[in-house]
């Protein structure tokens, strides 16, 4: 090969001017996360956790509030960043209109609602091993004995830890 000749595997055009993000989808996702974290902070956590804690205890709602607050702050920063740079970003030309992402969000929302209702109506000791077993099968684990041991072990450790260490009664 001669000096200065293009390599045969090199792309013909420079792809640097191709857009890399779609700011509209990012802004909508950030706003949805902000709305969900506000929902959690203003209604879900206060109504689903006990607020009583002893003098040296952490309230059961502390960590959920901390997580929801972090999601709120990060999503507001994310939306602000995308809005501030909206003029510099161009919409990415893709064959998909985001339907796959929307479908995934809907499926996960339904799954979370089912788990929440299951915990509320059936209880932790039944729902937790079932969810762990389904997650392990979805992740590709096919040894039934391993699924049973992990599901039972994690459920027992969590139930014992919540009750003994944090003095939180699981449903």
The percentage of residues in the chain with a pLDDT greater than 90, rounded to a whole number, is 47
Number of domains observed in the structure of the chain = 2
Q: Higher-confidence residue: 53 or 15?
A: 53
Write down which residue in 57, 92, 127 finishes a domain. Answer: 92
Look up the pTM and report it: 0.49
Asked if residue 164 is part of any domain, the answer here is yes
Q: Higher-confidence residue: 11 or 99?
A: 99
Q: Calculate mean pLDDT across residues 56-75.
A: 87
What pLDDT is recorded for position 101?
A: 79
What pLDDT is recorded for position 75?
A: 95
C-alpha 12/C-alpha 126 separation (Å) is 58
Distance of CA 120 to the CA centre of its chain: 21
Asked if residue 100 is part of any domain, the answer here is no
């Amino acid at each position: 090969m001669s000096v200065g000749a293009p390599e045969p595997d090199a792309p013909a055009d420079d792809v640097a001017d191709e857009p890399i993000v779609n700011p509209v989808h990012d802004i909508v996702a950030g706003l949805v996360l902000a709305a969900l974290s506000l929902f959690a902070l203003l209604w879900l956590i206060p109504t689903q956790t006990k607020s009583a804690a002893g003098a040296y205890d952490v309230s059961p709602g502390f960590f959920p509030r901390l997580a929801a607050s972090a999601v709120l702050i990060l999503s507001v920063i994310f939306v602000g960043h995308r809005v501030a740079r909206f003029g510099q970003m161009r919409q990415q030309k893709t064959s998909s209109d985001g339907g796959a992402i929307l479908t995934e969000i809907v499926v996960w929302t339904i799954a979370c609602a089912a788990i929440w209702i299951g915990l509320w109506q059936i209880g932790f000791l039944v729902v937790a091993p079932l969810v762990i077993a389904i997650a392990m099968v979805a992740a590709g684990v096919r040894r039934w004995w391993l699924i049973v041991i992990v599901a039972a072990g994690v459920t027992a450790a969590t139930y014992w830890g919540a009750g003994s260490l944090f003095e939180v009664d699981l449903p």
